[in-house]
């Protein structure tokens, strides 16, 4: 593990965030993900919450999404949805297009294209995170 990179990243995050609770969550996640990142390719909110210090739920979510920002690039948001033929969750194809559609308010099952209500979408499409490619490369330098 590239400890110099991890320490510099943690220092950058800590100095950029005025909300100390949010910074603590980010530092805990960075520490967790930096150890064996290739073995942590499917991290749910529950997984991340379990290693997080206890904070307000909104702060926790904000911290997780902060780590997905391009200038931080620790986590990459991924999606999986129920694939009807196998009745199991599968990673979705065309992730970027799917995110764009969600931003436009278009909610659907990406495998069959049928429109979904917010409730149905929440049951059929799940978010998870993986360490970003850039983060993994820098950890392994």
At 108, the pLDDT band (50, 70, 90 cuts) reads very high
What residues have CB less than 8 Å from 80, skipping those under 6 apart? 89, 90, 91, 92, 125, 126, 128
Read off the pTM.
0.89
pLDDT digits (tens, 9 = 90+) for 87-105: 899 998 888 899 999 999 9
pLDDT tens-digit profile of 35-72?
999 899 999 999 999 999 999 999 999 999 999 999 99
Residue 94's pLDDT is: 84
Residue 82 has pLDDT above 90, yes or no: no
| DSSP state letters, 11-80 | HHHHHH-S-HHHHHHHHHHHHHHHSSGGG-S-B-HHHHHHHSPS--HHHHHHHHHHTTSTTT-SEEEEEE
Pair 132, 33: CB distance under 8 Å: no
> Comparing C-alpha atoms, which of 63, 44, 43 is closest to residue 53?
63
Residues 101 and 64: their CA atoms lie apart, in Å, by: 22
- Going across the sheet that includes 75-83, the strands are 88-91, 75-83, 125-131
The predicted structure's pLDDT at residue 76: 95
Local confidence band at 83 (pLDDT 50, 70, 90 cut-offs) = confident
Q: Say what the pLDDT of residue 95 is.
A: 86
């Amino acid at each position: 593990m590239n400890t110099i990179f991890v320490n510099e990243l943690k220092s950058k995050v800590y100095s950029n965030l005025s909300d100390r609770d949010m910074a603590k969550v980010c530092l805990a996640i960075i520490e967790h993900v930096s150890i064996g990142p290739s073995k942590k390719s499917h991290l749910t909110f529950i997984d991340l919450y379990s290693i997080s210090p206890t904070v307000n739920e909104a702060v926790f979510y904000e911290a997780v999404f902060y780590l997905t920002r391009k200038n931080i690039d620790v986590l990459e948001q991924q999606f999986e949805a129920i694939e009807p033929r196998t009745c199991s969750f599968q990673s979705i194809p065309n992730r970027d297009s799917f995110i764009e559609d969600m931003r436009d308010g278009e909610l659907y099952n990406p495998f069959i294209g049928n429109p979904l209500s917010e409730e149905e979408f929440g049951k059929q499409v799940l978010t998870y995170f993986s360490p970003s490619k850039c983060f993994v490369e820098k950890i392994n330098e």
